A and B are shown apart, each in its own frame.
Chain A
Amino acid sequence: ETAVFQTPNYHVTQVGNEVSFNCKQTLGHDTMYWYKQDSKKLLKIMFSYNNKQLIVNETVPRRFSPQSSDKAHLNLRIKSVEPEDSAVYLCASSFTGGAPEQYFGPGTRLTVL
């Protein structure tokens, strides 16, 4: 049963455009994450965020930014997309503390032309 929801499922856009992806979780978790999964299926963490702290993977370009309205929502904005941004973006959530189990959404596939 899906408890982490992502929209849209797919998005095709052109270089230089701005895009925004939505993520919502209904599990009552207080930490949310964004991952990028490349064409080789390799998963890399981009951000983790709870009410107190945003942790950014230092390899993430500045054109990426997370946006949160409350602890159940964490959106991802890409200011000016580039071809290498084509990937699947996966949202996840968990409780805070230790290395907790994360629950994943179905992903948003971005294609940059």
Chain B
Amino acid sequence: QQKVQQSPESLTVSEGAMASLNCTFSDRSSDNFRWYRQHSGKGLEVLVSIFSDGEKEEGSFTAHLNRASLHVFLHIREPQPSDSALYLCAVSRDSGTYQRFGTGTKLQVVP
């Protein structure tokens, strides 16, 4: 069964400094990867989706996928305090129905 783990559990960065989040998965046949953000008391918003090895940029968010090492990273360029939230990665297979979510990283951006 697919296992999706995220690290670190929590991260504090200064405003404007790069934030890097890590997600590891166990099913090598996975081919759909998404990063979501959840502000406190709100639903999830998708930030970036990536389906092949390499990088995918959406605004200040860049996903980096390396399926051989079973990792997908999220880099946040010049984060602002408004980016403080819970970040979740989700992994699935195109032929599957469910996204399996990671354990989450709580990001705090301080001025």
Contact = CB atoms under 8 A, between A and B. Distances in A.
Interface of A: 4, 40-45, 48, 55, 57, 90, 92, 98-99, 101-107
Interface residues of B, number: 26
The winner among A44, A48, A92, A99 for most chain B CB atoms within 10 A is A99
B70 interface: no
Interface of B: 31-32, 34, 36, 38, 41-46, 49, 86, 88, 92-99, 101, 103-104, 106
Given A42-B101, A98-B95, A101-B46, 9 more contacts: A4-B43, A41-B88, A45-B99, A98-B32, A99-B32, A102-B46, A104-B36, A104-B44, A105-B43
A37 B94 CA distance: 24
Given A41-B104, A99-B92, A106-B41, A55 B46 contact: no
